[in-house]
Amino acid sequence: MSILFSPLELGELKLANRVMVSPMCQYVAEEGKATAWHMIHLGGLANSGAGLLCIEATAVEPGGRITPGDLGLWDDETEMSLKPVVDAVRRHSNVRLAIQLGHAGRKASSEVPWKGGQQIAVADGGWIADAPSALPQKEGEELPRELDRAGMIRIRDAFVSAARRADRLGIDAIELHCAHGYLLHEFLSPISNTRTDEYGGTVANRMRYPLEVVDAVRAVWPKHKPLGVKVSATDWMDAGWDIEQTIEFAKALKTRGVDWIDVSSGGISPLQKITLGPGYQVPFANQIRKATGVTTICVGLITDAQQAEDILSSGQADAVAIARGMLYDPRWTWHAAATLGATVEAPRQYWRAPPQRHAAIFDGVMNGAR
């Protein structure tokens, strides 16, 4: 039996298989509000056959957007814009639905990728970003504002408010974004956090604020709904955040009832030096899983069904998250099931789609039509 297509429990949430559609920014929201694109995009991926679909990185306040086109969940309008999308997914798919909540920190006020992705200056319509320390993401950018305690409380409470809104929408799970050089990762990394108060210096101090956010969200997020955290396991830089510190962070997350850790890497600085290759981040997930026993999800250049199966069958991770591969092939999970001799759920309207040799991949039978 395929491990990839075996069930997985995240807390009390049962997934049909171990394929997750990664949260992937689309950069087409309007003042944080979901649009018809989100209906089309998420609606299609909801029928991909994956066990879990995660809505893209969603800002908890306007200043926490990476770009002006980022999705948000900070007021009634942004919440109501997501409701028809969530309702449509629920009506036409049994996929479990998560949302990734985050704050861009010093990487906020950036152009969308197809316009270069660089910082938008205040004079050009951008805004001053918030950060643990007044250090820019790269030389020449406008300095971010170093957060004082009032600012930290404001953002923590914004995460809490967004979690409550996600629950009202009927979202099944939350993933908090502590990776890729965004705000919570910025507190963790000594590259971006040079504070001299109780939130800087030692590993314990640098972990303090992200853990405060986790605690605050866990306190309001229903106990039967799982909470995950996305981490960058290493900054890929000397004297930066690394796997040993990530393991310490993961142990602290485990004591707080976090149900999974989604293991990525990098993003803290353009000076990072990453060695890319198929499954290049899987060893980090493996180390965290073995050191802590926390359920881990691995990401990063996982494109092949047998590759994903081998990762899970060898115990390196508990699930795989597919991003670019799912955009390129929105039926990736169907094709993986065909390769591995497994079955997957699909809408009845599509049961006649597979070629005859793979007709058994769907949990259903088409008896013909007039």
Enclosing domain of residue 66 = 8-361
Has residue 259 been placed in a domain?
Answer: yes
pLDDT at 359: 80
C-alpha R_g of the chain: 20
Q: Are 361 and 342 spatial neighbours (Cβ–Cβ below 8 Å)?
A: yes
Which one, of 132, 104, 94, lies nearest residue 14 by Cα?
94
Catalytic positions, please? 182
CA dist 241 and 228 (Å) reads: 20
Domain assignment present for residue 368? The answer is: no
* Cα 162 versus chain centre, distance: 15
Is 175 within 8 Å of 23 (Cβ atoms)?
Answer: yes
Q: Into how many domains does the chain fold?
A: 1
Q: What is the pLDDT of residue 248?
A: 98
Q: Does any domain span residue 137?
A: yes
The structure tokens listed for 127 are 């805004």
Asked whether the beta carbons of 44 and 332 are under 8 A apart, the reply is no
The burial of 255, by beta-carbon neighbours within 10 Å (0-12 exposed, 13-18 middle, 19 or more buried), is given as exposed
Residues of the chain with pLDDT under 50: 366-370
Say which CATH number the domain at 78 has: 3.20.20.70
Let me know: does 9 contact 295? Beta carbons within 8 Å. no
Q: Over the range 204-225, which residues count as b (16 or more CB within 10 Å of their CB) and which as e?
A: ebbbbbbbbbbebbbeebeeeb
In a domain, 109, yes or no: yes
Identify the pLDDT of residue 368: 46
Sign of CA dihedral 328, 265, 224, 208: negative
In a domain, 170, yes or no: yes
Decide if 73 contacts 99 (C-beta within 8 A): yes
pLDDT value for 49: 96
**Structural domain contains residue 367:** no
DSSP type of residue 318: S
Distances (CA, A) of 101 to 2, 71, 127, 327: 32, 10, 20, 21
Tell me what pLDDT residue 367 has: 44
Helix H or strand E encompassing 275: none
Give the helix, strand, coil percentages of the chain, each rounded to 5.
Answer: 40, 15, 45
pLDDT the model gives residue 370: 41
Please indicate, yes or no, if residue 211 is contained in any of the structural domains: yes
Residue 370 lies in a domain: no
Can you give the pLDDT at residue 23? Answer: 97
DSSP structure string for 41-69: HHHHHHTS--SEEEEEEEESSGGG-SSTT
pTM value is: 0.96
